[in-house]
Chain A
């Protein structure tokens, strides 16, 4: 499935709902969307990846880039992901230590925006 990215405002944050496959082909689209959001002043992001079917290292790089970018604005980037297939990629790259990863959007919205500063 092709990449889909939709955004909405919820509880003072921007929820970025991502679906499909994030790979070497589609990752630039996600990067452009995240960069655009930050440029427009959306500095507290929740990236909902529950609809993501595949994630490669290029996609991971885009998420790391997004995290760095929001942090330069004292913002936050939380992830929502409960699928083992996608979580495994974070685990084997050690990025579970870098990202705050939640099971649901509600949990991500309830978390302190500073919670992703644990790295």
Chain B
């Protein structure tokens, strides 16, 4: 389906918008409703973490990328959400945050990426691609 990207000022008031975009993309990609709710929750937590650590004049970027059969024919589709920057100096383990604690329960995989300044949280869900449906 390709990439959807949302860029917003680091304000808590925009986190709901980010959740709504993530939910729309997840439904369009064909995730089941339980997974869609997990996307809503996890993307919300990641964005809240990001805006909480940034000044309002900086920007947060949320990207959502749905890749059908990402690992070859017969493999599950993969929805990847990426939220950054986080400004986590000591890596994601240094953040003693309740929001982070829930990410493991809400995603199939999550990781902190530090290849860009400020780093980013990468959240991954695996799903069956044939469920994809129009809105």
Which residues of A are interface residues toward B (Cβ below 8 A)?
Answer: 21, 23-25, 54, 56-58, 60-61, 85, 88-89, 92-93
> How distant is the Cα of A67 from the Cα of B32 in the complex, in angstroms?
35
Contact of A93 among B13, B47, B51, B102 (CB under 8 A): B102
> How distant is the Cα of A57 from the Cα of B103 in the complex, in angstroms?
11
The reply to whether A25 and B102 form a contact with Cβ atoms under 8 Å apart is no
State the interface size on chain B (CB cutoff 8 A): 21
Contact of B40 among A25, A54, A58 (CB under 8 A): A54
Q: Which of chain B's residues 39-84 have a Cβ closer than 8 Å to chain A?
A: 40-41, 44-45, 47-48, 51-52
Q: Per-residue 0/1 for B95-122: is the Cβ within 8 Å of any A Cβ (1 yes, 0 no)?
A: 0011101100110000000000000000
Q: Which of B15, B97, B106 has the most CB of A within 10 A?
A: B15
20 residue pairs bridging A and B, Cβ less than 8 Å apart: A21-B16, A23-B12, A23-B19, A23-B48, A24-B44, A24-B51, A25-B12, A25-B13, A25-B15, A54-B19, A56-B41, A56-B44, A57-B48, A57-B97, A58-B48, A60-B98, A85-B37, A92-B102, A92-B106, A93-B102
> How distant is the Cα of A25 from the Cα of B13 in the complex, in angstroms?
5
The reply to whether B45 and A57 form a contact with Cβ atoms under 8 Å apart is yes
CB neighbours of B19 from chain A (8 A): 23, 54
The reply to whether A57 and B51 form a contact with Cβ atoms under 8 Å apart is no
CB neighbours of A93 from chain B (8 A): 98, 101-102
* Chain A nearest Cβ from B56, distance in angstroms: 13
* Chain A nearest Cβ from B92, distance in angstroms: 15
CB neighbours of A24 from chain B (8 A): 12, 15, 44, 47-48, 51-52
The reply to whether A56 and B45 form a contact with Cβ atoms under 8 Å apart is yes
A23-B102 contact in complex given A54-B40, A56-B44, A57-B97, C-beta closer than 8 Å: no
15 additional A-B pairs beyond A56-B48, A92-B102, beta carbons within 8 Å, are: A23-B16, A23-B19, A24-B12, A24-B44, A25-B13, A25-B15, A25-B16, A54-B19, A54-B40, A56-B45, A57-B45, A57-B97, A57-B99, A60-B98, A89-B102
The reply to whether A57 and B12 form a contact with Cβ atoms under 8 Å apart is no
Q: Which of chain B's residues 3-48 have a Cβ closer than 8 Å to chain A?
A: 12-13, 15-16, 19, 37, 40-41, 44-45, 47-48
CB neighbours of B12 from chain A (8 A): 23-25
